Amino acid sequence: MATAATSTSLKACPDADGLKELASRRTGLSDFGDPGRDTGLKVFSAALRDEVWSGMPDPARAQVVEYAVHLLATRLKLVDDRQRYPQIAQEKIVRPIIVIGPPRSGSTLLHTLLSLDPEAMAPEHWVCLEPSPPPALGPPSPERLDQAERRMMAMFDRIPDIFITHPYMIEEGAGALAECGSDILNMVFSCQQLWCLYRAENFRRYLLEADHSGAVGFHHDFLQHVQWGAAGGHWALKGSDYLLRLEATAAQYPDATLVWTHRDLAQQLGSLANIQAILCRAAGEPLAGDAREEVGRLAIEHQRASFEKGMRARDRLGEDRFLDISYHDVMASPVRTVERIYERSGRHMSDAHRAAIHDWLEQNPQTKHGVHKYSTDEFGLGAEATNRQFRDYVERFGFGYGLHPPLSA
C-alpha cells in the first residue's frame, strides 16, 4: 500500500495544513467541508509534533502520517459525495439507540446484541474505512472490501496484541462492527483512540475540555451518507468515548436513547489499563515495568475525568435522557436487558431479534477466543484507593471496585 510517508520527510512532523495538502494531492480534491471541524486536527498535529514525534521510530512516524492522510482523504471524498448527491443531506436520523458506556464495560457486547435486530442499522469497519462512493450506489466490490481489510490490519501492525483483547477483529475483519469514536470521529480527529495510541497530553486535555459540536455534526453527516438508500430502520450505535461529548450528542440527536453501561470497576479498570499499555506501542516500543504501570494509571485517571465530565453533562441534560445498564445484567439475562432498552425507546422487540440473539450467543460463548488475562495489582488497583478515587461515580451509580448493584434483569 502506497503511503504518504513516501512523499514527505519523516524528520519533521507535518502540521495540519501539511497533512491536508497531502490528502488533497492524493484525491485531487480540496474541499474539506466546515472549517470548524478542523480544530481536532490542529490540536492533534501540534501535540504529536511537540510531545511525541521526537521519540517515535520511523515506522511509527510513517504509520501515523499515512493514517492521518487517509482520514483526511476520506473526508474530502465524503464532502464531494455530498455535493454530487444532495439527497444525502435530506436523510433524517430518527430515534437512534446509542451505547455511551466507557471502554471494557460490556458496551461492545451490548452493541452487538442491539445490531442483531433485522430492523437495525449499525456501521461496520469497511464502510468507515472506505465509505466512498455511497453504499446506496451499489454493494461494495471485493476490491473495496479487501482495501478496507488491509487498511484495518495495517493500523494494527505495530500493536498485534490488540487481537488478544479484540479477537472478533480476526474473525470478522472489516465486517466487524465499528465505533462512533475510533472509526467515524477519527476523521475529524475528535476521538479518544488517538490519545490512547499516541499519549499526547495536550490532545487529552482537548478531549476533556473542548466543545465537540462540530465533530458530532460530522458524525450526523456520516450517518446520512450511509443511510441514504437504506431500507428504513433505526441506528444502533456505540462509542467508548461518548462521555466526552454527551451534551453535543444529546443536542444533535434529541430523540436518542442514551444507554450508559456500567461494570464492577475492578474488572473494567484493570482491563482498560492493560489495553492502554498495549495500544501505546503504536508510538514506540513495547512498555514494561514502571512505564507500563504509569500508562495504566493515567488511563484510569482519564476514565475518572471522563466519568466526571459525563456526570456533569447528565445533570444538565436530565435523568430522563439516560438508561443505565449493568454489564452483569447483560451477562445474566441478555434478551431481557435488550427488551428493557427497547421498552425505554418505545420500540417492540421482535421474535426474529430474540432468535438472532439466542443464535449468536450459542455460537459465540464468552471464552470462544480465549480469556483476556490481566492483573489489577500490576497497575496498583486496590478497593479502598479506587473507590476513593471514583467516589462520586460509586455513590451515584453503585458500581465500584468489587461493587455492583444486585441484578435487575
One of 3.40.50.2000, 3.40.50.1220, 3.40.50.300, 1.20.140.10 is the CATH number of 4-397, namely 3.40.50.300
Q: How many of the other CB atoms lie within 10 Å of CB of 64?
A: 26
Placement of cell 504501570 in the chain: 293
Q: Model confidence at 379, in pLDDT bands (50, 70, 90)?
A: confident
| 340-358 mean pLDDT | 97
What's the helix, strand, coil split of the chain in %, to 5?
A: 65, 5, 30
For the residues of 53-70, what is the DSSP string, one character each? GGG--HHHHHHHHHHHHH
- 3 state DSSP class of 323: strand
Lowest mean pLDDT among 191-200, 345-354, 372-381: 372-381
Q: What are the residue ranges spanned by the domains of the chain?
A: 4-397
Q: Look at residue 272 and tell me whether its pLDDT is greater than 90.
A: no
Q: Look at residue 6 and tell me whether its pLDDT is greater than 70.
A: no
First to last CA, the chain: 48
Residue-wise pLDDT for 326-338, tens only, equals 999 999 999 999 9
Q: What is the chain's length? A: 409
Residue-wise pLDDT for 145-171, tens only, equals 999 988 888 777 767 666 666 665 556
Q: Do 20 and 72 meet the contact criterion of CB atoms below 8 Å apart? A: yes
Q: What is the pLDDT of residue 376?
A: 65
Q: What is the pLDDT of residue 2?
A: 47
Q: Look at residue 383 and tell me whether its pLDDT is greater than 50.
A: yes
Q: What is the pLDDT of residue 271?
A: 85
Q: Look at residue 374 and tell me whether its pLDDT is greater than 70.
A: no
Q: Look at residue 21 and tell me whether its pLDDT is greater than 90.
A: yes
Q: Do 251 and 219 meet the contact criterion of CB atoms below 8 Å apart? A: no
Q: What is the pLDDT of residue 160?
A: 66
- Write the CA distances from 335 to 25, 239, 268, 409, integer angstroms: 50, 21, 22, 9
Q: Which long-range contacts (CB under 8 A, 24 or more apart) does 349-357 make?
A: 349/117, 350/117, 350/118, 350/119, 352/117, 352/118, 353/116, 353/117, 353/118, 353/119, 356/116, 356/117, 356/118, 357/113, 357/116
Q: Model confidence at 291, in pLDDT bands (50, 70, 90)?
A: confident
d(CA 406, CA 107): 19
Q: What is the pLDDT of residue 212?
A: 97
